Amino acid sequence: MKSYLAAAIQMTSLPDLHKNLTQAEELIDLAVRRGAELIGLPENFSFLGDELAKIAQAETIALESEKFLKTMAQRYQVTILGGGYPVPAGNGKVYNTALLVDKDGNEAARYEKVHLFDVEVPDGNTYLESATVVPGTSFPATYPSKDLGVLGLSICYDVRFPELFRHLAQQQTEVLFVPAAFTAYTGKDHWQVLLQARAIENTCYMIAPAQTGWHNSIRQSHGHALIIDPWGTVLSDAGTEPGFAIAEISPNRLQQVRRQMPSLRHRVFV
């Protein structure tokens, strides 16, 4: 693993596949110009809005999203995570799928979200992800990269389940992805603190791409794409406008924190 720059992209995705992919490409281009070698796109990067429309277009969204990720990775010679897009699962439902693509355009890792957001939020909105999404059944994959470190995948609501991240830590993960479309209401209280907790307890870097703003008349995302170091320090915050957080991922910093706080080696219950 070498030192390198990583970018967590922040988008306001809409129920318009091609507009979203255009926005994503513009932000990828800007991040690459800043020197990013590892780039994460948020959950629902290619489509966010009406669920019935998403299901109706799921096959097209899946094909175009995967093609886009592989094209971007090859064109810019970077490793890219597409943080979540629908892949048909049969019976009118989809898997919420994250795909990691290496700089040669090859699939490096794939993960189907296991924890589905079925929540009645105190702001009056109810979210029922399981109405259209089939949960995955496997722990997230890891991808050991010689240059970028061991990368681990998750999606959004997973961040509330520390056992998933402890499993990834046991697989020697060094950099954790948490692409999200966190609601504005829950995000203001929980987003950053949950990410910092997962970083601290697993002594890992966190790369957290995010959705921001209004996606339709009722759905608003929190924003604040973040990159956090293994000590829990926020290195970069994208705020509330489309853009990206960018920061250095340093193997020296990772090793320093793990020497100073060797909690992974002190576990009793494993």
51 is catalytic: no
The DSSP bridge partners found for residue 243 are 10
Q: Which two tokens stand for residue 259?
A: 């020497």
Tell me which of 66, 112, 156, 174 is the catalytic residue: 156
204 is catalytic: no
Q: What pairing do the DSSP bridges indicate for beta strands 149-152 and 142-145? A: antiparallel
Contacts of 147 (CB under 8 A, 6+ apart): 1, 2, 4, 37
Tell me which of 103, 113, 174, 204 is the catalytic residue: 113
Instruction: Name the residue type at position 209.
Output: P
- CA pseudo-torsion sign 119, 124, 125, 128: positive
Tell me which of 37, 43, 112, 174 is the catalytic residue: 43
- Nearest alpha-carbon partner for 206 in 235, 165, 242, 176: 176
CB 72 within 8 A of CB 239: no
Rg for the chain, CA atoms, rounded = 17
Indicate the helix (H) or strand (E) that contains 83: strand 79-90
What residues act catalytically? 43, 113, 156
